[in-house]
Chain A
């Protein structure tokens, strides 16, 4: 995301969608308080969220014994060990916070290890890639092309937020094995109950162009209005695996 087009509300909307789908949801919260992050979720959703609070005392300055052991990297590694087998969504709020305080290589290794460890414990070991979904919020102004590129290389899907005329848009770059990457633009808003509302928007010609380094991709036409939360026909597009939410 960017300063002008924040991505935390979209992250929360995706978390809600995962929780409603019966998935475990584990959240590493670094940038805002747990209370602030949980705001907007109803009690049934909140009860399904497992929250790791790295906001209150991330560096153990208070020395009360309440800080997550091992600092930011330890907290991330602890999340890997605590996720039970079965479909799970891990949300990192934010990847930028972690990337500023951890070496990029260590963070990338931790993310890869998370996926491998979960795959080893999953019941459907023949299809491990679908067991774990990692959502990471990245503030793109904060990082150079190197770290951003490294995280992009790990992600199957990149969602870049921008907008025009007060309307937010998501440029979704999706990479699947042995297929050409696809690029799709959706106009959306996140409703107060954290549902996603897909909307029609300006014609493709007037939409902001993605970054020039974006590889040659197949383009899909912009989506028209959906019905509140995404319906089943659109669910596949929103079931993101390994997502980085960057900025335009």
Chain B
């Protein structure tokens, strides 16, 4: 995890909130560093993590995780991490008997209407242990990323329904957290992605939006991060808080600074 990002979010693994939906969004840049941050954050927080990884291989996340101080291999072996490797599973689904349920079985169905099998997988993966004593702190669902489900033929409402059920089970019933990445292509004609992005935004307690610089590529400033805290149901005397920082991604860390305050230009 990135300590500077924890400082901006005013949180630590010991004080992680529960029952929250965090939306990660990237526009004209790669926001995957946020996924790596939250993966290592919740593993260090001793949470049971179900990671629906549709973009990269297990070894990729593991290599990055080791730079951030966590071993996904160890976490998986001790039962803390349930890892759905989409790239590998998507091939398996075609060689499995049709009667056997598979979380990604929508890939082989011509008219898949919903993602219920994927939800059932998540629900089972984050089921509380029965030995009477919680081994892990709280369940966490991490998805990288939801936009690819649209590319694979699912509709925005089907993806929203999947997250709805995950929220009901993980956030409400089991007091856990969900972190999901959605891309913002900036294409106003991409209605499905806009519905997904805006629909999730309204349900989120925290929105982290990584954006490319309007002026183009810069060696010392890789983008800017907008942070929006929301309280979807509770009144606040002040409006929800919003902050914007610029950042630079390094080998094992990310540094954040106020706009125009990059150490390279000071």
Binding site for B on A (CB under 8 A): 3-6, 8-9, 12-13, 31-33, 35-37, 39-40, 55-59, 61, 96, 100-101, 139, 141-142, 144, 163, 166-168, 189-192, 194
Contacts and interface: CB of A to CB of B under 8 A. Distances in A.
Contacts of A144: 191
Contact of A40 (B191, B207, B234): B234
A100 B172 contact: no
With most chain A CB atoms within 10 A of its CB, the pick from B161, B201, B235 is: B235
Interface of B: 114, 116, 119, 157, 160-161, 164-165, 168, 172, 191, 194-195, 198-199, 201-203, 207, 228, 230-240, 242
B157 A55 contact: no
A12 B231 CA distance: 13
Contact of B235 (A59, A167, A192): A192
B228 A142 contact: no
B116 to A, nearest CB: 5
A191 B235 contact: yes
A188 to B, nearest CB: 11
B235 A190 contact: yes
Contact of A6 (B199, B231, B237, B242): B231
Nearest to A10: B235
Given A3-B198, A141-B198, A194 B235 contact: yes
Contacts of B195: 100, 142
Given A100-B199, A101-B157, A35 B172 contact: yes
B233 A139 contact: no
A58 B195 CA distance: 19
A58 B160 CA distance: 12
Nearest to B168: A56
Contacts of B165: 57, 59, 61
14 contacts: A4-B228, A4-B240, A9-B233, A9-B235, A31-B232, A33-B172, A36-B172, A55-B168, A57-B165, A59-B114, A100-B157, A139-B202, A142-B198, A144-B191
Contacts of A36: 172, 233
Contacts of A35: 172
Nearest to A11: B233
A33 to B, nearest CB: 5
A40 B239 contact: no
B199 A61 contact: no
Contacts of B160: 100
